[in-house]
Amino acid sequence: MRTDLNIQYNHLERGILNFYRDPKEFEGSQKAADVMRDFGVDRRVVSADEVVQIEPALAPHRNSIVGGDFTADDESGDAYLFTSSLAKLAEEKGVEFRFSTRITRIISEHGHASSVEVINADGSYDSIKGDAFVVALGSFTPQLMRPLGVPCLIYPTKGYSATFQIKNKDLAPTVSLTDSSHKVVFSRLGDTLRMAGTAELSGYSRTLNPVRCRAMSDLAQDLFPEALDFNDVKYWSGLRPSTPSNVPLIGPTRLPNLYLNTGHGTLGWTMGPGSGRALADIISGKKPEPTFPFIGI
């Protein structure tokens, strides 16, 4: 898609490096790396010295790192820039987007979805008819499915991010990092460094917990004290649509023209293009390429 569409989104093709400070976690990671390799993902177990060679910004912490694993083919980038650019290209192809529009319910008639009731940005009511409907509303999907009797086991898991301006590029990481001990990730996005993590079960509230925000800043300052501007940080929270199995719900429902594409947890952007393509095949009556437990509920 990047080659065909020329989308610019601060992407990096420098791999993703997981580093470990606990010997038991490092030992467990080697088993996980074996499983990934069995599925064709080249995840390489590396020593503590190799961790620092791959990402020199971690050199001051060499003594606390016991090892890591590195997937050279992994990439990173700004999901917001990517999806915004993709939406503009889709509009040029004739797609109509209705932003700031609230969906109130899906109307079913004779066992089929017939229309969607919405409240437009100006407060007016509208009804949108269609031949097929895809519900891809993340954590908010169950609210629309429940009145239709369609089971949808998804719960919102709040995640946080903190984005820092980089003040010393030579000391900031250039490889995407995962600190396994604290369950946070770091990604270089142009002149900023974004860290993300945590899993807070607090319903649908996106209120920022100042204690969690402070903890993220403290960890970033501990790892990269001279690289970032800690007086210029932007905090954000989002609701990950989590399923009990961590496997997304992709496929048809008991209403033949109503489909789900939701429940991707922490991997929405990672799996977005693939799940979208597979669902397009399903709607078109084709067999999707990947072997996957596509739903039929």
Are both 105 and 138 inside the same structural domain? yes
Say how many domains are in the chain. 2
Return d(Cα 178, Cα 77) in angstroms, integer. 15
Return d(Cα 274, Cα 293) in angstroms, integer. 14
Q: Where in the sequence is the domain holding 65, given as residue range(s)?
A: 2-79+156-242
Q: Nearest 5 degrees, angle CA 53-CA 193-CA 271?
A: 90
Tokens of 73: 């083919």
What is the pLDDT of the chain when averaged over all its residues? 95
Tell me, yes or no, whether 217 lies in a domain. Answer: yes
Tell me, yes or no, whether 291 lies in a domain. Answer: no
Are both 147 and 12 inside the same structural domain? no
Tell me, yes or no, whether 135 lies in a domain. Answer: yes
Tell me, yes or no, whether 110 lies in a domain. Answer: yes
- Spell out the per-residue pLDDT of the chain, length 297, in tens: 888 999 999 999 999 999 999 999 999 998 989 999 999 999 999 999 999 999 999 999 999 999 999 999 999 999 999 999 999 999 999 999 999 999 999 999 999 999 999 999 999 999 999 999 999 999 999 999 999 999 999 999 999 999 999 999 999 999 999 999 999 999 999 999 999 999 999 999 999 999 999 999 999 999 999 999 999 999 999 999 999 999 999 999 999 999 999 999 999 999 999 999 999 999 999 999 988 989 887
Tell me, yes or no, whether 86 lies in a domain. Answer: no
Tell me which long-range contacts 206-209 makes (C-beta under 8 A, separation of at least 24). 206/158, 206/237, 206/238, 206/239, 207/237, 208/160, 208/235, 208/236, 208/237, 209/160
What are the b/e assignments for 173-190, b being 16+ CB within 10 Å? bebbbbbbebebbbbbbe
Are both 210 and 262 inside the same structural domain? no
Tokens of 128: 């949108």
Are both 6 and 150 inside the same structural domain? no
Are both 231 and 190 inside the same structural domain? yes
Tell me, yes or no, whether 87 lies in a domain. Answer: no
pLDDT of residue 1: 85
CATH number at residue 103: 3.50.50.60
Is the Cβ–Cβ distance between 115 and 107 less than 8 Å? yes
What residue type is 291 in one-letter code?
T
Are both 208 and 69 inside the same structural domain? yes
* Coil vs helix vs strand at 129: strand
Are both 160 and 234 inside the same structural domain? yes
pLDDT of residue 3: 85
CATH number at residue 63: 3.30.9.10
Tell me, yes or no, whether 88 lies in a domain. Answer: no
Tell me, yes or no, whether 38 lies in a domain. Answer: yes
Tokens 């169950």 belong to residue = 142
Are both 205 and 117 inside the same structural domain? no
Are both 45 and 180 inside the same structural domain? yes
DSSP 8-state secondary structure symbol assigned to residue 21: S
> Taking every pair of C-alpha atoms in the chain, what is the biggest distance, in angstroms?
67
pLDDT of residue 261: 97
pLDDT of residue 291: 87
Are both 264 and 170 inside the same structural domain? no
pLDDT of residue 196: 96
Listed residue (128, 40, 84, 108) closest to 258, CA to CA? 108
Listed residue (208, 212, 177, 211) closest to 194, CA to CA? 177
